[in-house]
Every structure is written in structure tokens, then in C-alpha cells.
Amino acid sequence: MTDVVLITGGGSGMGREAARRFAGRGASVALFDVNQPGMAETAAGFDTVRGWSVDITDFEAVKAAVAEVEAAFGDITRLYNCAAIMPFGRLLEQDNAIIHKQMAINYGGLVNITQAVLPGMVARGSGDFVSFASMAGWIPMLKTGGYTATKFAVRAFTETLWHENMNCGVRFACVCPPPVATPLLKQGKESDWPKMLEGERGKTIEPGDVIDAVEATLDKGKFFVYPTRDAKIGVFMRRLFPNLIWKQVHEVEGF
């Protein structure tokens, strides 16, 4: 049976990395993105990768595109939900519409793609459901509040979804990477980049490292994907010593 992979945000970054990796193994890959040139770059050199221009916040458009993918390629066997934006800023200074927009894309998009794709996987009793949260889904910091709120929401939604559909044959993963070298970071840097993410603290890993970790985590039957040891330790520290982390954040930011 052909692997049919649907990747939101497949026109860039980690979505692109996953798309090209799965296509290289013979999968049919559907990309949903608002970035058409990006999708064309992802698909370059592969006959089995096709882009759909879909705004993930539009539920009707998402459902219609999912139906087209299944008509073209067959039942979806893997979902990677990568679409996101990352504008940073202090919450009282950030544009109201931007704070709402990032929730609509980063969290609302997950809700839409889940309701469009997961019922089919559950009915078939198989599939991989991969949701991209972040270390930001565990650790709030100064200037990242709007984005972090979206990632807390993604983590809570995905964790509940997993528990509501345990043992149905679908494998679930919630990905919590540290900073990754993709174009997403540019959005943060062009807005109001926190000092906490400068230098060694903001050291990036490569998109391929994250996709390796996703596959290894699914194969081990685990849910949370921490691509580095430091990411795992950071989350552990936040859970045990939130005040200690806040103290460090204030010291570093200087307010």
C-alpha cells in the first residue's frame, strides 16, 4: 500500500524536510500551504509531491482539499501538521490582530486538519498523526507570549486527542523542538527577538534532526518528541522549578 503523507506548511522548513524524505522513499505527498513558490521548491525533482494552495484557517477549504488528496492519492496514512507563524513582541505592544492570527493558524489550523483527517485514520485503525508544538509549548518567556500561548494550546489539544483515541491503531506524536534552523526564526528576529534566544541559548538544530527524532519516537511508541537532550532537560526543569526559569529569563532580558 502506498504511503500517503499530508503535510501542512510543507512549503518550507521542517515540513519540506519531511516531504522530501517521504517522497524519496516512494510516498505520495500532499502539501498544504499558502506559500506556492515554497511548495514548488519542495516538490522539485519528485513526481509524487503535489501542492495545494490552502489557508489552514479555512475549515471548508481544508476539508475540500483533503477530499481532493484522497481522490488523487488514496487514504492519508500520515499527517504532519507544521503550518505556523512566529511573530514575537511584548503582549501589550504586539498588534491585537497578530496575536489572534497566530492562534488561528498555529492552533486553529491544527483543529481544522485534525477534524478533516483524523476520523478517517481512526475508522481505518491506522495512521501516524504528528503535531508540531515546541519547547515554547512548555516554557513561557518574555516577548514570546502570543506564540507560546499557541503552542501550549497545541500541546494540550494533541495530548487530549491522543488520550481520547488511545489504542485505536493510530500513532500520535507531539513534537517539542528547541530552535530549528528554518525561515520561521526570521519572523521572530524581524519582530522583537528575546535575548534568551541569542547566542548559545538559541543554538539551532537542523530540520533533519527533528524528523529523525519524530520517526524514532513513533517507533518507540512514545508521544512527546524531544529532539535534543537539552530540550528534555529544559522541559523537566520548567516542570519542577518554574520560578527558577523565570528568574533567569528576567535576568537575561533585563526587565
Ligand X SMILES: NC(=O)c1ccc[n+]([C@@H]2O[C@H](COP(=O)([O-])OP(=O)(O)OC[C@H]3O[C@@H](n4cnc5c(N)ncnc54)[C@H](O)[C@@H]3O)[C@@H](O)[C@H]2O)c1
How many residues touch ligand X (CB under 6 A)? 29
Site residues for ligand X, 86-105, by CB under 6 A, read 105
| Contact string (CB under 6 A) for ligand X, positions 106-145, x = contact | --------------------------x-x-----------
Q: With residue 80 as reference, give the H or E element that holds it.
A: strand 78-81
Q: Which three cell numbers stand for residue 100?
A: 489572534
89: Cβ contacts below 8 Å, ≥ 6 apart: 95, 98, 143, 146, 191, 192
Q: Which three cell numbers stand for residue 138?
A: 512548555
Residue 217 Cβ, how far from ligand X at the closest point, in Å?
A: 15
Residues 217 and 224 sit within 8 Å (Cβ to Cβ): yes
Q: Which three cell numbers stand for residue 15?
A: 515540513
SS3 category, 70: helix
Residue 124 Cβ, how far from ligand X at the closest point, in Å?
A: 25
Nearer to ligand X, 126 or 157 (CB): 157
| Contact string (CB under 6 A) for ligand X, positions 37-76, x = contact | -x----------------xxx-------------------
β-partners of residue 90 are: none
Q: Which three cell numbers stand for residue 83?
A: 503550518
Residue 226: active-site member: no
Rule CB under 6 A: say whether 11 interacts with ligand X.
Answer: yes
Residue 224 Cβ, how far from ligand X at the closest point, in Å?
A: 13
Nearer to ligand X, 73 or 138 (CB): 138
* Residue 155 φ/ψ, nearest 5 degrees: -65, -45
DSSP letter, residue 54 = -
Give one DSSP letter per residue of 128-149, joined into a string: EEEEE--GGGT---TT-HHHHH
Rule CB under 6 A: say whether 225 interacts with ligand X.
Answer: no
Site residues for ligand X, 154-173, by CB under 6 A, read none
State the Cα–Cα distance between residues 13 and 133, nearest whole angstrom. 14
| Chain centroid offset of residue 26 CA | 23
Nearer to ligand X, 82 or 153 (CB): 82
| Contact string (CB under 6 A) for ligand X, positions 179-198, x = contact | xx-xxxx-------------
| Helix ranges, the chain (H) | 13-24, 36-43, 59-73, 96-102, 109-124, 145-164, 184-190, 207-219, 229-240, 242-253
Q: Which of 80, 107, 147, 226 is catalytic?
A: 147
Q: Name the residue whose CB lies closest to ligand X.
A: 13
State the Cα–Cα distance between residues 4 and 54, nearest whole angstrom. 18
Residue from 6, 7, 15, 111 touching ligand X (CB under 6 A): that is 15
Residue 249 Cβ, how far from ligand X at the closest point, in Å?
A: 18
Residue 104 Cβ, how far from ligand X at the closest point, in Å?
A: 8
Location of C-alpha cell 498555529: 106
Question: Which residues are at the interface with ligand X (CB under 6 A)?
Answer: 8-9, 11-15, 32-35, 38, 55-57, 82-85, 105, 132, 134, 177, 179-180, 182-185
The catalytic site residues sit at 147
